[in-house]
Amino acid sequence: MGALDGQVAVITGASSGIGAATARLFAAEGARLALLDVNPVPGDLLGLGEVTTHVTDVTDAAAVERAMAEVAERHGRIDVLVSSAGILDRVPFLEMSPERFDHIIAVDLRGVFLAARYAAPYMVEAGRGRIINIASQLGIKGGAGLAHYVAAKAGVIGLTKALALELAPMGVLVNAIAPGPIETPLIGGRPEEWKREKAAELPLGRFGRPEEVAPTALLLASSPGGDIYVGQTLGPNSGDVMP
């Protein structure tokens, strides 16, 4: 028996990093997967049992609505949504154009809103569901050169609390995960020296791996493990932030 046997899980940003690791773990726990990403899904994920893929840009409201409807039609329901699609960009605030700010907000905050907005009705109809938003610890601690990203991620934490309050009475539990630095392509391009210095600052002395974040998503998605989490932000972060 897997923890998610027969459940239908939609994962955005499933083609890479935390989303892909979550897809692998959820499939191993018996979930049927609907993988949403703007980029193609890697071949190994396609073999994870009953999987559908939906090439979707999370900033496109009509496309997200369509993708959720396709999932519900194909799989019959949506039990779990993990919103992991995200991008990171660094630019000093005094050089940050409004367009660059808007773009990060569109993907990292509005994309999370859209996925929840169009998945939640299926959960409410069923009287049960789990929404797990991948925020970032930077939304709690801030970060220089990251005003747009930090604002988006703090927004995801706030959005999570608002949705949690509104949807819990309807049986839908909404929570966030705020990872610390995780070894994925998102930060893969950073200089080695930055990575060494950053890792040395962490109480654990190292970055996390996507496979070490996925179990937190599983906890929140599963029962009884996730049954009394409402509006929380969990922090798999190597000890960097202790709220």
Ligand X SMILES: NC(=O)c1ccc[n+]([C@@H]2O[C@H](COP(=O)([O-])OP(=O)(O)OC[C@H]3O[C@@H](n4cnc5c(N)ncnc54)[C@H](O)[C@@H]3O)[C@@H](O)[C@H]2O)c1
Residues 147-166 that bind ligand X (CB under 6 A): none
Query: Residue 77's closest CA among 8, 174, 167?
Result: 8
* One residue of 8, 35, 57, 238 binding ligand X per CB under 6 A: 57
Interaction between residue 235 and ligand X (CB under 6 A): no
Cβ atoms of 135 and 243 within 8 Å: the answer is: no
Handedness of CA 220, 225, 227, 231 (dihedral sign): negative
Query: Which neighbouring-strand residues pair with 53?
Result: 35
Quickly count: other Cβ atoms within 10 Å of residue 145's Cβ: 14
Tracing tokens 């000093």 back to the chain, one arrives at: 92
How far apart are alpha carbons 6 and 148 in whole angstroms? 38
DSSP annotation of 97: -
Question: Closest approach of Cβ 202 to ligand X, in Å?
Answer: 12
What's the full length of the chain, in residues?
243
Query: Which neighbouring-strand residues pair with 131?
Result: 81, 174
Task: Point out the residue whose Cβ comes nearest to ligand X.
Answer: 17
* One residue of 5, 6, 39, 165 binding ligand X per CB under 6 A: 39
Residue whose CB is less far from ligand X, 91 or 126: 91
Interaction between residue 10 and ligand X (CB under 6 A): no
Question: Closest approach of Cβ 1 to ligand X, in Å?
Answer: 28
Interaction between residue 187 and ligand X (CB under 6 A): yes
Query: Which neighbouring-strand residues pair with 33?
Result: 9, 51
Residues 196-225 that bind ligand X (CB under 6 A): 210
Interaction between residue 53 and ligand X (CB under 6 A): no
Interaction between residue 230 and ligand X (CB under 6 A): no
* One residue of 19, 155, 226, 231 binding ligand X per CB under 6 A: 19
| Catalytic residue check, 118 | no
Report the interface residues with ligand X, using CB under 6 A: 12-13, 15-19, 37-39, 57-59, 84-88, 107, 111, 134, 136, 179, 181-182, 184-187, 210
Q: Which residues are catalytic?
A: 149
